Amino acid sequence: MNFEKVEIMRSMIRRGATTKEIATDLNISESSAPNYKRKIEEGQSVLIFPKRKKENRQREELSSMINRIVSNNNSVTLGGIQSHRQEQGITRSVPSISKMLKEEFFTRKRLQKVPLERNSHGNLDLRQNYCRILFIDETGINLHTNIHYGYSPAGLTATISEPANKGVNISVLVAIALTGVVHYMIVDGAIDGELFRDFMTQLGRMNSNVSNVYVMDNARIHKSRVVSAYLQESNMRVEFLPPYSP
């Protein structure tokens, strides 16, 4: 019995309608009409809320449970999921479980075998060494550069307007780890040894508690006197790429 029907029934009761008339107009059984009428007259609630919300909540809980089971064990079968849920006091058919898996975008596929040794403590420690590698490099850009080729009608010169002053070159220093950019510095003009030393100083302070390995090419500023002195003093481990390597 929803709110609208309750209001109609109250109006009919005030008009003196019979229980048969109430049952007919509201499309309820004649046996239920007297009971509803009595409760309304006594001031009791006769509202019946739909069970959809409760059912939706239960379905969400079941889907969440299936998600956890499959995520924790990719090799579990439909029967295994069913048994696991029966242990929790929940009974569902195998087709029902299969349907829920599809709704959660799980698909059945061939298992890829992963050696247990892959995630051993020793191998996990070795991976940490690679996580501590930082690659350092610099590049230069000019915001006023333009493309060199364009289109124009046959017989006419293709032109482009640009300022007479080319502007100042901008240099960018970047340190990149396996997880992405760790630190960067943007300066006007070229980078000299002192600027590179300042960059390494900032980088060292940011990673003072981590034993990182800094990889860089053989650019002259990387081996300048001020940079070499700082690296030696700070005990930063630096590895230079072989000559002519990318």
pLDDT tens-place string over residues 169-194? 899 999 998 889 999 999 999 999 99
**How many CB atoms neighbour CB 117 within 10 A?**
8
> Pairing state of beta strands 180-188 and 213-216?
unpaired
Tokens encoding 16: 């003196």
pLDDT at 171: 94
Do 123 and 87 contact (CB within 8 A), yes or no?
no
Distance from C-alpha of 74 to C-alpha of 83, rounded to nearest angstrom: 16
pLDDT at 198: 95
Considering only residues 146 and 50, tell me which one the structure prediction assigns the higher pLDDT.
146
Find the mean pLDDT for residues 6-26: 83
pLDDT at 125: 64
pLDDT at 53: 55
